[in-house]
Amino acid sequence: DDSHIQQDMEKLQNCFSGFRQKYRLIKRIGEGTFSTVYKAEDLLYDSYDNSWDLDRDTEKWSPPPLRSFASQSSATLDYQSQPQPQPQRRRKPKYVAIKKIYVTSSPSRILNELELLHDLRGCESVCPLITAFRWTDQVVAVLPYFRHADFRDYFRNMTIPDIAIYLRSLFTALASVHRHRILHRDIKPTNFLYDPASRRGVLVDFGLAEREGYDCKPCVCHDDPAVRKARLRPLLSSTLKPGYPREDTRPSRRANRAGTRGFRAPEVLFKCTEQSTKIDIWSVGVILLTILSRRFPFFNSADDIEAMIEIATIFGQRRMQTAALLHGCMLETSIPTIGKSGFSLQGIILWSTGRSEKHEVPADEKLAIEFLSRCMELDPSKRISAEEALEHEFLRLGMD
Ligand code: ADP
Ligand code: MG
């Protein structure tokens, strides 16, 4: 398999003329559904001011001069048209992440990812785009390399203040993304690169991101409660068959469900057609629940119906049914593990970490759990926003 990676690296280097003068591929660092990512050394970084720099003290990325971006607008991403910089003597090596996007991705989706990254340039805790180039159907994006650890290696050892610092960084990124009215849609540990040693993180992977309101149709969740009730009356009077919801009784409408299983917000599962940036907040909630319960993955459903059952098991039939109705869905089941009123998040966390119900929960952990309940609010309109989260007492623990 190692030779396979070597072959792929050869292919990439041969695909673009001048690649070897510009970058030295080091190793493969990621392979996902939509891309393969390599670590590489930027051989010419000193000779052209086209790269971003992270100031270690202020945590701010300083952008390259606008001129270099202007010449790389989406219309002129063609590698061949880039000026060929001449090599110069280097100081210390500078690393980049080269993201080779699979040729099977649609051109509009690739363009979307690059455009959104371009819009988000300069946003704290969002990994900037250095450049991108294309040769026929092959597109690669070049990002500053960000050193990070594998989530599975550190999440069990995080203290409550560690968690607050981690989340403060993630919410700083999300607040900027949401301020630009962009939904990330795929918040999960592998898309938030975090270095526990320096306690810095960056948000990556805008492959599924979209602008708010894109592909949107009115959903009853945005109606006045009285209007919604009147609209849903026929649904409520219909007789329901109890049992495992084998038949999907959700309306046969089409709603965006892009994202990763286990991290999808309830409104995504309920096919809400008017999804908002709040879907990202739910996903952060799942990350926090994972850390506090020391269980990864916390949710392990194979499909959306199973995912609803998992969430219903925690929140209980009653609250889940209310959440379903919000989007015009019915959710009735007689699965014995789904109680009428579910469990408390604190109870779940104590149980997952082998502590008894009577265990005295430390004040800072209680605060974390209270914050968790604000992120995992079933009703997106009541769920905390990224901006509000940064003001929450729990995330204030993450300020130096
Ligand atoms: P995909 O769409 O295939 O999931 P990502 O952008 O999420 O692509 O990148 C996949 C993986 O590559 C990440 O989980 C991370 O491990 C690694 N990676 C991506 N960008 C960087 C970066 N700038 N620095 C270091 N590693 C990165
Ligand atoms: Mg990813």
Our CA dihedral for 30, 203, 291, 159, rounded to 10 degrees, sits at 110
Confidence class for position 249, pLDDT limits 50, 70, 90: low
The predicted pLDDT at position 67 comes to 44
What pLDDT, on a 0 to 100 scale, did the predictor assign at position 203?
98
pLDDT surpasses 60 at 381? yes
User: Does residue 12 have a pLDDT over 90?
Assistant: yes
pLDDT band at 17 (very low <50, low <70, confident <90, very high): confident
Q: Read off the pLDDT of each residue in 15-38 and give the average, rounded to a whole number.
A: 93
Average pLDDT rounded to a whole number, residues 186-205: 97
pTM score, whole prediction = 0.88
Interacting residues of 130 by C-beta distance below 8 A, sequence separation 6+: 50, 51, 52, 64, 96, 142, 143, 144
Nearest CA to 324 out of 386, 282, 333 is that of 333
pLDDT value at 350 more than 50: yes
* Of 257 and 38, more confident: 38
Residue 151 CA to ligand 1 center (angstroms) comes to: 13
Q: Whose CA is nearest to atom 12 of ligand 1?
A: 30
With a 6 Å cutoff on the Cβ, whether 207 touches ligand 1 is: yes
What's the pLDDT band for 75 if we cut at 50, 70, 90? very low
Q: Which of 300, 281, 276 is nearest to 377 (CA)?
A: 281
Q: Residue 295: count other Cβ atoms within 10 Å of its Cβ.
A: 17
Secondary structure tally for the chain: helices H, strands E: 14, 11
pLDDT of 355 above 70: yes
Look at residue 63 and tell me whether its pLDDT is greater than 80: no
pLDDT of residue 339: 93
| 396 CA → ligand 2 middle, Å | 28
Cα dist. 8→62, 159, 200, 361 in Å? 33, 41, 31, 51
Average pLDDT in the chain: 88
Distance in angstroms (rounded) separating the CA atoms of residues 16 and 373: 49
Nearest-angstrom CA–CA distance, 385 and 395: 13
Look up the ipTM and state it. 0.99
Mention every residue, 6+ apart, whose C-beta is less than 8 A from residue 316.
338, 339, 340, 341, 342, 343
Q: Give the residue, 231 or 267, on which the prediction is more confident.
A: 267
Tell me the best of 101, 105, 185, 205 to mutate to test the pocket of ligand 1, counting ligand atoms within 8 Å of each CB and taking the most: 205
The dihedral region occupied by 185, where left means phi > 0, alpha psi between -120 and 50, and beta the remainder, is: left
**CA gap 143, 130 in Å, rounded:** 5
Q: Is the dihedral of CA 189, 191, 192, 194 positive or negative?
A: positive
How far apart are the CA of 226 and the centre of ligand 2, in A?
Answer: 41
Greater confidence, 58 or 307?
307
* Percent of the chain residues topping a pLDDT of 70: 86
Reply yes or no on whether the pLDDT at 52 is more than 70: no
Return d(Cα 34, Cα 102) in angstroms, integer. 6
What residues are annotated to the active site?
A: 186
Q: What is the distance between the alpha carbons of residues 299 and 8, in angstroms, rounded to a whole number?
A: 34
- Write out the residues surrounding ion ligand 2, Cβ under 5 A: 32, 191, 205
Q: Does residue 181 surpass a pLDDT of 90?
A: yes
Determine whether the shortest distance from the Cβ of 312 to ligand 1 is under 6 A: no
Q: What is the pLDDT of residues 78-136, one digit of tens each?
A: 555 555 555 444 457 899 999 999 999 999 999 999 999 999 999 999 999 999 999 99
What's the whole-number mean pLDDT along residues 323-341?
89
Mutate to test the pocket of ligand 1, among 195, 204, 260 (most ligand atoms within 8 A of CB): 204
**Structure confidence at residue 246 as a pLDDT band (50, 70, 90):** low
> Which ligand minimizes its atom distance to the CA of 29?
1
